[in-house]
Amino acid sequence: MSPFPPFPAASAVPAVTLADVEAAARLIAHAVPHTPLLPSRTLSRLTGAEVFIKFENHQFTASFKERGALNRLSALSETERARGVIAMSAGNHAQGVAYHAQRLGVPAVIVMPADTPFVKVKHTRDFGARVVLEGETVAESRLVAERIREEEGLTFVHPYNDPWVIAGQGTVALEMLADQPNLDILVAPIGGGGLLGGMAVAAKAVKPAIEMIGVQVGLYPSAYNALHGLPPCTGGATVAEGIAVKEPGDLTLPLLRALVSRIILVDETAVEEAISLYLSVEKTVAEGAGAASLAALLTEPQRFRGKKVGLVLSGGNIDPRIMASVIMRSLVREGRIAHLSIRIGDKPGQLARVATVIGETGGNIVEVRHERLTSDISVKSTDLRVILETRDHTHLAEILECLAAAGFPANERSFSGPAAGD
């Protein structure tokens, strides 16, 4: 792929400096752990880069968001602490603010969309926050939060467009370069730009030659479009809802423009593959946004080949049901679960013969059913639908060959539609 076009010239002075990030690192060190940065031999082999993973999913709330939240809360005046804070979030920012507000004895109100998953609401309430479920979207919840802020005199803690929050997130880069000074590239997801913006300030000041790369999903290319002078165009359901932000902040955008070399757009399949790889290879849980940096490596491996690359696994708060679906879809893509259509005579013993062939070739039947009402087959035949487990695509091909040799030609079917050729 050709390089992205150059970004427009910077038009604003960055709101955060290395000194701000270093001050944040000192301030939060007692309560936010220095998470591990570990090499991944398997991911390095798969991508051709020397891959190091920053495990921010090891934070207590399973997300980097604690860093900025604590730094912002620590900057409150005594009057502001007494009155309390308010935040708008459907996920990680809510938990980060609620957790550290509880630790510091600061009253916290979190406004969340009305349809926020119960588990996220429960976790936020468990940290002592008053949760207000109002608004159909995050944007509508933001309006509710502004109204409550004015009525109750609370301090608003923005998820990304705040200098203290940006500086707190930047501590991720300081830790990465302290642990592995020879990194050539840092890759992080972009929602509103607080994480990558703060990291870029710190990393480029400590090591000017380092390359900063951001990642967005194709459905929400807000920062990409803004930096390339393209019209806003976002929307749709994404597994990376944590970075499904419609516009970057006016504080973060100048940082991205001045310090980030490019933004890579990834599709949903790449993000799902990255989630699955983190689980199967690293034995760790990544949410969609948290897996985006690895998705970029999978999407454009040639850009990173031969380089020492630091990936930020930014969070691990994924809905268990979504994780289950991602795992199953990954098994289908790998050929480890297949859906077959086999035409057989509708008479005794046929199913047993098919099952024997599959069993002798090492396949495991998960589900089987007869489709007798299909109009395009003889009334004396049936369409046998079989879902089976295999080792991989090669093993599946072997099973199909053995079925055909035994007189049972089979077609592989899509799980969402008819078989090819039907």
246: annotated active-site residue: no
Q: How far apart are CA 62 and CA 317, in angstroms?
A: 6
Catalytic option among 40, 141, 222, 314: 314
Structure tokens at 186: 């840092």
Q: How far is CA 206 from CA 41, 177, 301, in A?
A: 27, 8, 26
Give the span between the Cα atoms of 88 and 7, in whole angstroms.
30
End-to-end CA distance of the chain: 36
For residues 229 and 277, is the Cβ–Cβ distance under 8 A?
no
In the block, which residue shows the tokens 């980060």? Answer: 96
Report the alpha-carbon distance of residue 63 to residue 35 in Å, rounded: 11
Residue 144 in tokens? 């509710």
Catalytic residue among 65, 120, 204, 308: 65
**Hey, what are 330's tokens?**
């990954």
325 carries an active-site annotation: no
CA 1 – CA 248 distance, rounded (Å): 25
d(CA 81, CA 243): 29
Beta partners for 339? 387, 413
- Give the angle subtended at the CA of 327 by the CAs of 324 and 331, to the nearest 5°: 140
Q: Which of 335, 328, 339 is nearest to 388 (CA)?
A: 339
Q: What is the rounded (10 degree) CA torsion for 31, 37, 40, 46?
A: 100
Catalytic positions, written as ranges:
65, 314
